[in-house]
Chain A
Amino acid sequence: MSVSLNPAAYTRIVPAVVFDIKRPHLLVERSLMVTRRSWVAMVSGFFEPLFYLLSIRIGLSALVGDIEVGGQLIAYDAFVAPGLMAASAMNGAVFDSTMNVFFKLKITKLYDSVLSTPLTAGDVALGEIMFAVLRGALYSTAFMVTMWVMGMVESPWFLLSVPACVLIGFAFASIGMALTTFMRSFEDFEYVPAATLPLFLFSATFYPVSQYGEWGWVVQLSPLYHGVELIRAANLGEWRVELLAHIAVLVVITVVGSAIAARRIERLLLT
């Protein structure tokens, strides 16, 4: 895949695209209309992270014992749960913004007809990202409640895990959508799990970053890692200045990703 990103070109364009976003909520409204009929599939999406959590709680926790995080000892399942929460926010956002968007962009040509109304490419990009994030937020809330019921929530600050998941969703939906505009066929999507699986496995999801030893800095490159850290910190109710850096990374990814996506959609459809 040849991805030619010329940062100068995009930063020059960003304002024009961003200022032209006025009605993204109308595309969200369309997605809600569609979801009204496919709500079963939507609800079932919540079960995957739940099964992971249950499997670890039932089987692995006893084998691993407690884990030390920030000076506190916590059960292994309570350690992994925030990682799973972040990973499912990522997976949902990536799926919604890649396959689903590609289908509408290239196969059903949905966006062609949307762009002949007063909506703009920016509305389309942000609207689709917003829906992916909205759905992710529902799953996150359900997951948070599940953790609370299972007694894994250590602090009331854990309520902040939902906005953290929203941020993760925004970041990954933006990257996903930007990359999707460069995809040529469905075969290109085989590379998507090749990117998300390593992120899922190596973002301090299943064990503390200290375990990577001198390779710990590599983990920092994973956008998911920054999300995992935010949610884990929320669960422990601990405030550190580094959290601002984690937030900043995700915000930057979101802004750059969605600007590229909007610009590319415009270029693909308005020729």
Chain B
Amino acid sequence: MGAVMRSGMQRRLTSWAPVRVYLRDWTFFRRMWWSVMLGSIIQPLLFLLGVGLGIGELVDNGPAAANVLGDTSYFAFYATALFATSAMFVLSQEAMWGTLDGFQWSSAHVAMISTPLTPTDVAIGKALHYAMRALFTGVGVALVLALFDDTRRVGLLLAPFGSVLTGLAFGLPIAAWTGSRTTDASFPAILRFGVIPMFLFGGAFYPITQLPGWLQPVAWITPLWHGVELCRAMVLGGTSPAQMAMHLGVLLAFCSLGLFAMTKTFAARLRA
């Protein structure tokens, strides 16, 4: 039994099949990476100028800034959250419409498994593509943050990996759901009642200690809050190693459960 599992594992780990799946998305992505990159720079820049600077001025001169934010400027506080929120938005949409396309409209996934590729290869290959997409997003944010004194820190080199983790914590579970869908009817509701509330209440615009007591535990179980806290700590510091480990652990749990569910729904869908 053990030997069978081990050889199965070996096959999996030494197989390049998922990479081939990934390369298909990469060839597509490569053609338009410049416009994608531009988007991942312009959007955070707009948010930073609009919210970070504008609302920042109001908050920093406001009555409660010192109590709530300490020495951190609102600009730095909000800016670092963009690593997580941008990745969440980009990957949620990629895992919804960008993935349903492979099952439903262009049927690329369906074509793949008529080759030696397995549904698990397709799922892992897709996950690689999501990771790359999130990395681009994170790098875009880092480039923008490097423009401002408040956020020009060494941690900007690390934070894009926080984007990858946060992005995957959304992308993989959502892709698992997409794998079980035939239409995009449920996607707007996921955005409206899942993604956007997390964006608004998940600690990006203000610490969740501002939320009413009953709402704070809800924020604790959202991947976004852990992503925001992780990315923020990577750049600004001030978080204990234990807390960092906790955020990392939760995000990794979302990722691995998501990937597991994704292999299941992809297999059920493509083998049906």
Contacts and interface: CB of A to CB of B under 8 A. Distances in A.
The answer to A–B direct touch (Cβ < 8 A) is: yes
A201 B205 contact: no
Contacts of B46: 197-198, 201
A48 interface: yes
Nearest to B191: A48
Contacts of A58: 201, 210-212, 215
Interface string B205-235: 1100011100100000000000000000000
B59 interface: yes
Contact of B55 (A41, A62, A64, A202): A64
B249 interface: no
Contacts of B50: 198, 200-202, 206
B205 A60 contact: yes
A241 to B, nearest CB: 28
A58 B214 CA distance: 13
Interface in B140-191: 188-189
Interface string B45-79: 01101110011011100111100100000100000
Nearest to A200: B50
Chain B interface size, under 10 / 10 to 19 / 20 to 34 / 35 or more: 20 to 34
A76 B188 CA distance: 29
Interface stretch (B131-139, B192-200, B264-272): B192-200
Interface residues of A, number: 28
A209 to B, nearest CB: 11
A206 B51 CA distance: 8
A206 B55 contact: yes
Contact of B62 (A65, A198, A202): A65
Interface in A189-206: 190, 194, 197-198, 200-202, 206
A211 B206 contact: no
A125 B2 CA distance: 69
A103 interface: no
Given A62-B210, A63-B64, A202-B50, A51 B200 contact: yes
Contact of B200 (A41, A52, A200): A52
B54 A206 contact: yes
A55 B58 CA distance: 16
Contact of A64 (B62, B188, B193): B62
B15 interface: no
A207 B57 contact: yes
A62 B211 CA distance: 11
Nearest to A80: B55
A148 interface: no
A63 B206 contact: yes
A233 B163 CA distance: 41
A44 B58 contact: no
Contacts of A47: 192-193
A201 B42 CA distance: 13
Contacts of B256: none
B43 interface: yes
A88 to B, nearest CB: 12
A55 B200 contact: yes
Contacts of B215: 58
Nearest to B189: A44
Contact of A48 (B55, B192, B211): B192
B205 A44 contact: no
Contacts of A48: 192, 196
Nearest to A45: B192
Interface in A147-179: none
Contacts of A201: 46-47, 49-51, 54
A44 B190 CA distance: 11
Contacts of B39: 190
Interface string A128-148: 000000000000000000000
Contacts of A198: 46, 50
Contacts of B196: 48, 51
A197 B210 contact: no
A34 to B, nearest CB: 14
Nearest to B58: A64
Nearest to A76: B58
A261 to B, nearest CB: 25
Given A63-B59, A63-B64, 6 more contacts: A44-B188, A44-B193, A51-B196, A59-B210, A194-B42, A206-B55
29 contacts: A41-B189, A44-B192, A44-B193, A48-B192, A48-B196, A51-B201, A52-B200, A55-B201, A59-B201, A59-B206, A59-B211, A62-B64, A63-B64, A63-B65, A63-B68, A64-B59, A64-B62, A65-B62, A76-B58, A197-B43, A197-B46, A198-B46, A201-B46, A201-B51, A201-B54, A202-B49, A202-B50, A207-B57, A211-B54
Interface of A: 41, 44-45, 47-48, 51-52, 54-55, 58-60, 62-65, 67, 76, 190, 194, 197-198, 200-202, 206-207, 211
CB-based closest 8 A-B pairs: A201-B50, A55-B200, A59-B206, A59-B210, A65-B63, A64-B58, A65-B62, A64-B62
